């Protein structure tokens, strides 16, 4: 899936001259966490987050009265606090690439650009929802884990066993098993009704199935790796 398929296109924008009070009102009114700042030509020049506003809201001396503080904040423009170097993506960016960018850059939103034209925005919440859907997370599924040696054909062996039992896979993905080189942790989701049947079939073919958190993975390692 691509960012263009999930991005928000009903954008809330504001000019750099917007005051902090006005920016706060826009964010609250539209229930958003990021305000896109565009110049008179409609070009993206910065971004202000709800967190940015909170950090700068009470920055003046605490001896000011509420009236005085409100008056001062009406004079401060978002151009003074906005992030000017904004990380962006194109609509054809994959969901997983967007998630990687957000994680490595420690950000929670990405404006979407076509050339220099702002066309959308995507948030970490949007990306997380898609990833959860992709892994088949639901109350009607069961999660099974299998540790296998990382070699050609291993995935096919596991799926063939389940296919033979006419068990449908809701999702299937893997990652390196931490602390065990050349071992992959396969994570399989099947319908809850098929859970016991899937476990029995895999164990009958020599695979050890994880159904819960285990601190010590050694008993579940492939025979050669455990030796």
CATH of the domain at 21: 3.10.580.10
- Spatial separation of the C-alpha atoms in residues 24 and 51, rounded to whole Å: 11
The reply to whether 41 and 124 lie within a common domain is yes
The reply to whether 58 and 19 lie within a common domain is yes
- Cα 10–14–19 angle (5° rounding)? 145
The reply to whether 116 and 32 lie within a common domain is yes
**Higher per-residue confidence, 134 vs 205:** 205
Please give the pLDDT value at position 226: 46
Please give the pLDDT value at position 211: 93
The reply to whether 187 and 200 lie within a common domain is yes
The reply to whether 55 and 104 lie within a common domain is yes
Interval 172-185: pLDDT, tens: 888 889 889 899 99
The reply to whether 95 and 52 lie within a common domain is yes
25 Cβ neighbours under 8 A, 6+ residues apart: none
133 Cβ neighbours under 8 A, 6+ residues apart: none
Final residue of a domain: which of 68, 99, 131? 131
Final residue of a domain: which of 81, 106, 131? 131
Final residue of a domain: which of 82, 113, 131? 131
pTM equals 0.74
**Rg of the chain in Å (alpha carbons):** 25
The arrangement of strands across the sheet holding 13-14 comes to 13-14, 34-38, 44-49
CA distances from 93 to 37, 88, 130 (A): 22, 10, 14
Q: Where do runs of H (alpha helix) occur along 59-119?
A: 66-73, 95-105
Task: Provide the residue range defining the domain that includes 215.
Answer: 136-226
CATH of the domain at 216: 3.30.70.260
Dihedral (Cα; 68, 71, 76, 78), 10-degree rounding? 120
The reply to whether 107 and 64 lie within a common domain is yes
Interval 43-92: pLDDT, tens: 999 999 998 888 877 655 455 555 656 666 677 889 999 999 999 999 99
Q: What average pLDDT does range 2-24 have in this prediction?
A: 94
Please give the pLDDT value at position 126: 93
Interval 82-126: pLDDT, tens: 999 999 999 999 999 999 999 999 999 999 999 999 999 999 999
The reply to whether 118 and 169 lie within a common domain is no
Q: Are 173 and 136 in contact (CB under 8 A)?
A: no
Please report the beta strands in 17-168, taking only residues with DSSP state E, as ranges in sequence order.
34-38, 44-49, 109-114, 117-123, 141-149
The reply to whether 183 and 216 lie within a common domain is yes
Please give the pLDDT value at position 151: 87
Closest CA to 188 of 159, 145, 221: 145
Please give the pLDDT value at position 64: 53
The reply to whether 159 and 123 lie within a common domain is no
The reply to whether 140 and 127 lie within a common domain is no
When divided into structural domains, the chain yields a total of 2
The reply to whether 155 and 50 lie within a common domain is no
């Amino acid at each position: 899936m691509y960012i263009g398929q999930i991005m928000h296109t009903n954008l809330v924008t504001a000019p750099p001259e917007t005051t902090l009070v006005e920016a706060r009102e826009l964010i609250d009114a539209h229930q958003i966490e990021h305000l896109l700042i565009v110049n008179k030509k409609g070009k993206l020049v910065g971004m202000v987050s709800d967190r940015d506003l909170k950090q700068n809201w009470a920055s003046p001396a605490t001896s000011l009265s509420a009236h005085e503080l409100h008056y001062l904040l009406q004079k401060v423009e978002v151009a003074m606090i906005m992030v000017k170097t904004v990380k962006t993506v194109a609509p054809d960016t994959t969901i997983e690439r967007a998630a990687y960018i957000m994680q490595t850059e420690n950000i929670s939103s990405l404006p979407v650009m076509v050339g220099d034209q702002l066309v959308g925005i995507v948030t970490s919440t949007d990306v997380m929802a898609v990833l959860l859907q992709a892994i088949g997370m639901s109350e009607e599924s069961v999660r099974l884990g299998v540790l296998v040696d990382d070699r050609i054909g291993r995935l096919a062996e596991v799926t063939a066993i389940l296919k033979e039992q006419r068990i449908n896979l809701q999702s299937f993905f893997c990652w390196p098993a931490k602390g065990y080189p050349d071992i992959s942790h396969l994570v399989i989701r099947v319908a809850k009704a098929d859970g016991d049947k899937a476990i029995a079939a895999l164990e009958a073919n020599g695979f050890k199935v994880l159904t819960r958190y285990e601190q010590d993975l050694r008993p579940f390692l492939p025979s050669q790796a455990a030796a």
